[in-house]
A and B are shown apart, each in its own frame.
Chain A
Amino acid sequence: MTKSLRPAVVLLGAQRFDPSLGAAVSELGVTGRIAIITAGWQEREAEDEELSAHLGDRTVNLQLHARGDALFREDPALRDAHRERQASLRHRQDFYRIRLEHELEADRVICTRTAPAEILAEQVQASLDGIRELDQWHLRLCARIRTEFEARWDLANRPSVVRHRQEIAEILSGCDAVAIAGGHVATLVNRLVLFGIADLVQHHTVFAWSAGAMAISDRIVLFHDSPPQGPGASEILDAGLGLIPGVVVLPEPERRLHLDRKDRVQRLVRRFEPATCLALPARSRITWRDGVFSSAHDVLQLRPSGRALAFGVRPRRVSAS
């Protein structure tokens, strides 16, 4: 029997109103302390009483948001540089979005045209390739900006950062698992990266929901099919921690995705393939271990056919009667 490369990672849907985290923790037999990360809640990070009670009051909050604020107070040069980098990333995101919206609009127009099937298929594929290429380009750009920043400011050895990382490592050494809550995904992933959480949780079971689940994937996709300003366009934000490679995490599908729109679902799947697109409704959960998913509860997998099916259900061909 081969030894597991790392402990399990559990992805969950929204936990706000009817949490299923406790059941997931019990199922994996985690009995020790659990470190919680609520940095996505930003200034409300410390308001974790309900979460802690749900987990049996055996939690310790790593306070990554407050640590970030403290770190920047202690190290104003790093704070200014970080703020400058964030502004630079926002600019890049804006320009990426401009290009993306035009690519998606071209795709939409092409899909409505009448043409011989083979020409249409070729052109639709070309549109899709263009969108995928743009996504990849943006991901590479974000990665380069982050890498350059970390190298320039030598985060791995910078005393102000190292001190916090050591403190976090010490706390984690007394914990069996880490629970990463949802919230603001950009804030969350920034804090996770700043404090090197990917390396520090290698030997911990990880439970992550909503934005937390997005942040530990290898590619964070922002999405909403019907935002108030008009038809929504899914966009890449950045790379996540990469704890579960090859998965696009889509929480809150109940209010963010038109899963009944086969064309939209199909396009989303094809855009990110070969990654697996998982929609995580409230109370859903799924366990990932060594590249294999198991114990899926109410998780939906978006399929190339344009359908969203319960994870593990093989799509059936429907023949016309």
Chain B
Amino acid sequence: MSARLAIHKLIDGRIDAGRIQAFLHGRKFPIVEGTSVTFVWMGHADSVQLRHWIFGLESSNALSRVPGTDLWYLTLEIPPNSRVEYKYEIHRGGHSGWIEDPLNPNRARDPFGANSVLQSEGYEDPTWTNHDPVTRPGAIEPFTFESNALGRRTGHLYLPARFRRSRQYPLLVVHDGSDYLKYAGMQTVLDNLIHRLEIPDMIVAFTDSPDRLQEYANDERHARYVTEELVPDLAARFPLYDQPQARCIMGASFGAVSALSTAYRYPGFWGRLLVQSGSFAFTDIGKRNRRGPLFDRVVEFVNTYRAQPKAVSERVFVSCGVYESLIYENRSMVPLLSATGMDVRFVEARDGHNWENWRDRLREGLSWLMPGPLMFIYE
């Protein structure tokens, strides 16, 4: 018989303020006990809902009030190694609002603000995502670029520590670059992986778009900007390897669509693709996907690709969270990509459509696409 959960031990006894304080004191929230996870909120409310982004579960789950108290709780079964971002929706006096969990200091930020984060049993922040004092940081600088295709573009350029003009470097182009830097800690990740010899010293162009939903949805102008304008400019200014194997383009969500569609428009140019939680919406009949008109051009592109898949790169790393609805589309893409002869690796994680999921997959993806000198260096 399994041990009783902490919340049940509390409820089953006589409840008073002292016992509640003792329950709340010195404990990590949510309470993770094996695969049982208890979400807890303390405060005055008419009702409290857990709001999360786990596809497959009800997106709103009511917390129960411990009778006669302001303590609310909900226990869910969450598989090991999961990351779940969530908020509480508090209803009080005819009003409602979403708040982060005040009992849980663990937050994930994104362009819309921040969410509380549940880390289930077994999940740990990868060490390579944290600042390492012995790692030499690369340099990062903002850039502007006057594009014939798209007008003025902005982004950031990363040069590895110990950059030398006498050497040659591979190039990585990142869609939604500023978000990858801000929310996926990508500079720290690059610094650490390079320091650990797991990826090579590389030059990284973090590109931004002022209208990503338009420009990342299979827009010819964007593909031209990146491939015919940005890369030649960088190649003229920096010692880049001039080989497809040394050119990688990546992105998440719509940025992943853009990475694939750019490679599709320039087959053979981008030898490495890293696509995370790609918004690869498609239809088996008709042209309108359930996701709405924003996806129409994506659907058109993905339907075209699905009808006549072709090898556009050499290696493709695909990752997706199993708690996001796009898992269906991504799982569907993998056999198609593989059938073209491209070398495809697909990785799923118990996570959602968020930046820390994309961060956590960077090591495996980048080191597989562009292995560092780890196999060559024996100190």
Contact = CB atoms under 8 A, between A and B. Distances in A.
Given A43-B164, A69-B166, A228 B378 contact: no
Interface of A: 14, 16, 40, 43, 69, 87, 94, 182-187, 210-211, 214, 222-224, 227-230, 232, 235, 237, 251-252
A227 B198 CA distance: 8
A183 B367 contact: no
A228 B198 contact: yes
9 contacts: A69-B166, A184-B376, A185-B376, A211-B378, A211-B379, A227-B371, A228-B193, A229-B368, A230-B364
Contact of B378 (A69, A210, A227): A210
Interface string B130-157: 0000000000000000000000000000
A38 B345 CA distance: 38
Main secondary structure of the interface of B (DSSP, over half): mixed
Given A69-B166, A228-B198, A228-B364, A184 B371 contact: no
Nearest to A251: B378
Interface in B55-101: none
A71 B245 CA distance: 29
Contacts of B3: none
A247 to B, nearest CB: 15
Interface of B: 162, 164, 166, 193, 196, 198, 243, 245, 345, 363-364, 367-368, 371, 373-379
Contact of B368 (A214, A222, A230): A230
A252 B368 CA distance: 22
A69 B193 CA distance: 27
B374 A185 contact: no
Nearest to A234: B375
Contact of A229 (B243, B364, B373, B376): B364
Given A43-B164, A210-B379, A214-B378, A184 B367 contact: no
Nearest to B373: A184
Contact of A252 (B193, B243, B378): B378
A6 B356 CA distance: 58
Contacts of A229: 198, 364, 367-368, 371
A187 B376 CA distance: 9
Contacts of A182: 377-379
Contacts of A87: 243
Contacts of B164: 43
Contacts of B166: 69
A222 B376 contact: yes
A187 B243 CA distance: 21
A224 B379 contact: no
Nearest to A41: B379
Given A43-B162, A227-B374, A183 B245 contact: no
Contacts of B373: 184
Given A43-B162, A228-B363, A186 B374 contact: no
B373 to A, nearest CB: 6
Given A43-B164, A69-B166, A228-B198, A223 B375 contact: yes
B74 to A, nearest CB: 37
B375 A227 contact: yes
Q: Ordered nearest first, which 7 A-B pairs have the shortest CB separation?
A: A229-B368, A211-B378, A210-B378, A228-B367, A229-B367, A222-B375, A251-B378
Question: Which residue among A14, A185, A211, A228 has the maximum number of chain B CB atoms within 10 Å of its CB?
Answer: A228
Contacts of A94: 245
B363 A224 contact: no
A183 B377 contact: yes
Contacts of A230: 345, 364, 368
Interface centre among B374, B376, B379 (most CB of A within 10 A): B379
A183 B379 contact: yes
A183 B378 contact: yes
- Could you say which of B245, B371, B378 has the most chain A C-beta atoms within 10 Å of its C-beta? B378
A111 to B, nearest CB: 23
Contacts of B377: 40, 182-185, 211
A224 B375 contact: yes
A224 B364 CA distance: 15
Nearest to A69: B166
A185 B197 CA distance: 14
Which of A14, A16, A184, A224 has its CB near the most chain B CB atoms (within 10 A)?
A184
Nearest to A16: B379
Contact of A185 (B345, B363, B368, B378): B378
A184 B377 CA distance: 4
Contacts of A222: 375-376
A232 B245 CA distance: 20
B192 to A, nearest CB: 11
Interface centre among B198, B245, B373 (most CB of A within 10 A): B373
A300 to B, nearest CB: 16
Nearest to A98: B343
A28 to B, nearest CB: 23
B93 to A, nearest CB: 53
A184 B374 CA distance: 9
B243 to A, nearest CB: 8
Nearest to B166: A69
Contacts of A40: 377
B379 A14 contact: yes
Nearest to A237: B376
A274 to B, nearest CB: 24
B195 to A, nearest CB: 13
The winner among B166, B196, B367, B375 for most chain A CB atoms within 10 A is: B375
Contacts of A69: 166
Nearest to B196: A228
